[in-house]
Structure 1
C-alpha cells in the first residue's frame, strides 16, 4: 500500500526532471535500507573504519616502500583484466511497472527518466573503474614503469571501454532471451573487453594509440546510447532488468542464506537419454554411474568443479619452474578429497539407503566413480604444468602424468575414507 501511494505521488510531480530526482532519491533510500538490514553502525565502526585505515597503510607502502616480490611475477595483462571485471553489470533505468499506464503517453517524461538512469549508471561505473585504477596505479607506475601520459591514456581507454560495454550489454539483456542472449553477449561484452585487454597490453607505452582506441570505443558508445534512446517495444525487459539491478545488493547479502530456486526441467541438459556410462552391468558400476550423472547434473556441484578447475589452472600457470608440479599434486589431492566427500553424501541419501547395498559394495562403487570425476581436473592441471615447462613435449607428457596423479590420489582417499 505504501509503495502504491509513493508511486501515485511520484506521478504528480511538475516536471520530468523532478520525477527523475525523486526516483534517484528513492533508489538510494532502498539500497541504504537493504544494507541496514544486514549491518548497523557498529559494523561500520568496527570493520570498515579499521579496514580503511589498514588499506590506506598498505597503499602508502606500495608507493613509498619496496613492492612485494610477487608483483614482479604477475603478467601486465592481468591488471587490465581486473579493470575489465569492473566494467561488467547492468544499467538502472529507474523505470517502474506503473509507467506502462502513466508514462507511456508522455514520451518526453519517459525519455528523461531513461536518459537520467543511463547517465547515473554510467557515472557509477566510471567511479568504480577510477577507484580500481587508482588502486592499481602504484603497480602500473613502479612495477611496469608507466609514465603519467601512459597511465592517463590507459584510464581514458578504460572509461570509454566501460561505457561501451555497459550500453551494448544492456541492449542485449533487454532484447534477447535464452541461448541467443549468451551468444550476443560474446559480441557485446566479452569481445570488447578482450580487445581492451589486448590493446592495453600491446600499447602500454604508446599513449597516442591508447587514446585512438579510446576514441573508437567512445564512437561505439555514442552510437549505442543513441540506439538505446530510440529503442521501442522493450518496456517489460527494461522493467525486468531494473528489478534485477535494484535487488543486486539484496541478492549478495542473501546468497549464503537462501538457495536460488532452480527452474523445473523435464529433461536434463547433460546425459539427456540416460544411457549407462560404464560398460559393466554390475551393481557397483550402476551405482557409480548414477553418482557421476547426479554430480554433473547438479548445477551447484558442477559450477564449483569448473570454478576450482579454472582457479587451479591459473595458479599452476602463475607459479615458477618445477613448483608447478607441486601445486598440481596439491590441487589434485584437494579435489580428490572433495569428491570423496561428495560420494559419502550421495551414498547416504535416503533413496540410496533403500537399495540393498553393503558397505563394501558402496565403497567399491565410490572407488570407481571418484577417479572418473577426478580425471578431467587432473589432466587439465597436468597440462597447465607440463606445456609451459616442456613446450611441445608437454603435449605427450601431460596425459600419462595427469592420469597417474589422478588415479593415485583417488585411490589414496578412497582407501582411507570409504568404510568397507
Structure 2
C-alpha cells in the first residue's frame, strides 16, 4: 500500500466515523421535520438576498463584517491522519509515514480553501448588491482570510494542545493579538484598494504557515504532536455532535475534586415552603445550574433561534422559526428533566405523582418565557422601532 491509498483510506474512515455519530443524533424524524425544512428555508432566504438585500444588513457596516469573519478564523488544525498504532507499524517505513503526513497537510490546505470558497459564495449577494463591491475584491478578501487561517492553524500546531484553563488562555493572547493585527492591516489594504499590499499579506501568511509546518512536513519526529492534534480534532467533533443530543449517554467528564460545590455549597434550601413540587424544582435547579453543559445548551438554543429570526426577512418565516424553536426548546427541556429527574434511580418512581408533573410544567413555562420574549422582540418590537427611528 502506498501513501496515497493509505491517506484516502484514513480519510474514508474519518468520514465514516463522523457519519455514524451524526446518525446517532439525526434520525429520520429529525431529518424530515427539522433538517429538510431548515435546508429549504435557507435556500429560500439565500435566493431572496439576490433579489433584494435583507433589511438587517443595513445595520451591519463593512468593518463589522470583517470583525465577524475574524471569529471564523479559529478552531481548526492541519491534520496528518496519524493513528496511535502507527508508532509500531508505520515508523518502520519512514517514507510511507511521511507521505501520509504530507498528504494530510495538503488536504487540510485544500479543505480550508474550499471552505473559503463556500463562504465567498454565501455572502456574495450581500457583498455585491448591498456593499457594491466587485468579485475581484471578494476573491482578495477571502484570499486574505484563508491565508491567515492557514497561519493560525500552523501556529496552533506548534503549541501544546494539552493545556487547559487559564494556561491555555494566557498562551492564546499573543496569537489573538497577532492575528488581530494582521487582520486589521488586511482591512486597511482592502479599503485602500492596494492590490500590492493585499498580495503581500496573502503571500506572507501562506509562506509563514509553510515555514511553521516544515518540521511536521519533512520529519516523523513530531509523531506525538501530530497524534495529539488529530485526537483533539476528533474528540472536539464528537463532543459537539453528542452535545446536540441529550438522549445519548455520555461518559462523565473528569472534574477537579472539591470539598463543596461552587453553587449552594451548604446545600441550603431555595424554597421556604416544603412540598413535593418545590422539592423537584429545587433538585432540578441545583442539578442543572451546577453543570455548565445545561446552562450553555439553553443559551445556545436561545441565541441560535434569535439570530435565525433576526436574519429572516419575511414575517411569516420569522413566526415559523419561532414556533419551531418553541417546539425544540420544549423537547430539550423534557430531555434534560428526564436525565436529571425522571431517569434517576431515586426519583423516577415518582414520575406519575402530582408534584413531579407540576414541577416539570413550571420549569417548562419559566424557561419558555425568556425565549418567547426574545422571539416577540425580534418579530414585532424591533421592526416597529426601526419604523420610528430610521437611524436604528
Q: Tell me if both proteins adopt one fold, taking TM over 0.5 as the criterion.
A: yes
Asked if 1:287 is matched to 2:280, the reply is: yes
Secondary structure of 2:10's aligned partner: helix
Match of 1:93 among 40, 55, 80: 80
Say which SS state the counterpart of residue 265 (structure 2) adopts.
Answer: coil
Name the structure 1 match of 2:163: 177
Change (3 A) 1:110 1:185: farther
**SS of equivalent residue, structure 1 residue 92:** coil
The answer on 1:351 being equivalent to 2:339 is: no
Residues 30-79 of structure 1, C-alpha deviations (whole Å, 9 max, x = no match): 3576699899xxxxxxxxxxx9xx99xx79x96xx982435453335558
Structure number with greater CO (CA < 8 Å, separation at least 6) is 2
Unaligned stretches of 5+ residues in structure 1: 1-9, 11-18, 40-50, 392-420
Instruction: Flag the 1:127–1:319 CA change in 2: closer, same or farther, 3 A.
Output: closer
Which residue matches 2:267? 275
Query: Aligned partners of 2:155, 2:368: CA distance in 1, in Å?
Result: 39
Distance in 1, matches of 2:335 and 2:72, equals: 32
Tell me whether 1:262 sits opposite 2:262 in the alignment. no
The residue aligned with 1:416 is none
Over the residues paired in the alignment, what is the CA RMSD in angstroms?
A: 5.7
Q: Look up the match of 1:415.
A: none
CA contact (8 A) 1:285 1:368 kept: no
- The Cα shift of 1:305 comes to 0.6
> What does 1:8-407 align with in structure 2 at a 5 Å threshold?
19-30=2-13, 67-69=50-52, 71=54, 73-74=56-57, 75=60, 77=64, 81=68, 85=72, 88-101=75-88, 113-172=100-159, 175-179=161-165, 183=169, 186-187=172-173, 205-208=191-194, 210-211=198-199, 213-214=201-202, 217-218=205-206, 220-226=208-214, 235-243=223-231, 259-263=249-253, 265=255, 271=263, 273=265, 275-276=267-268, 278=270, 280=272, 282-283=274-275, 284-297=277-290, 301-315=294-308, 318=311, 337=330, 341=334, 345=338, 348-349=342-343, 350-354=345-349, 359=354, 361-362=355-356, 365-366=359-360, 369=363, 373=367
Whichever of the two has the greater Rg, that structure is 1
Quick one: structure 1 residues 84 and 112, their matched pair in 2 at CA, closer, same or farther if it must change by over 3 Å? farther
Question: In the aligned structure 2, how far is the partner of 1:175 from the partner of 1:33?
Answer: 25
Between 331-340 and 298-307, the greater mean CA deviation after superposition: 331-340
Instruction: Give, in whole Å, the separation in 2 of the partners of 1:388 and 1:176.
Output: 47
Q: Is the 8 A contact 2:7 2:81 kept in 1?
A: yes
- Asked if structure 2 preserves the Cα contact closer than 8 Å seen for 1:94 and 1:242, the reply is yes
- Asked whether the 8 Å contact 2:98–2:219 carries over to 1, the reply is no
What SS does the corresponding residue of 1:276 show, helix, strand or coil? coil
CA drift of 1:169 comes to 3.2
Conservation of the 8 A alpha-carbon contact between 1:126 and 1:162: no
Give 5+ residue unaligned stretches, structure 2: 24-35, 387-392
Q: Conserved in 1, the CA contact under 8 Å of 2:11 and 2:81?
A: no
- Maintained 8 Å contact 1:328/1:382: no
2:29 corresponds to: none
Q: Distance in 2 between matches of 1:342 and 1:28?
A: 34
CA 1:332/1:148 → structure 2, altered by over 3 Å: closer, same or farther? closer
Residues matched between the structures, number: 352
Cα deviation per residue 1:361-410 (whole Å; 9 max; x = unaligned)?
4466457655765677678889989899989xxxxxxxxxxxxxxxxxxx
Q: Please give the alpha-carbon distance, in whole angstroms, between the structure 2 residues aligned to 1:269 and 1:216.
A: 49
1:161 Cα deviation (Å)? 1.7
* Rounded Cα–Cα distance in structure 1 between residues aligned with 2:158 and 2:113: 19
Return the TM-score normalized by structure 2: 0.61
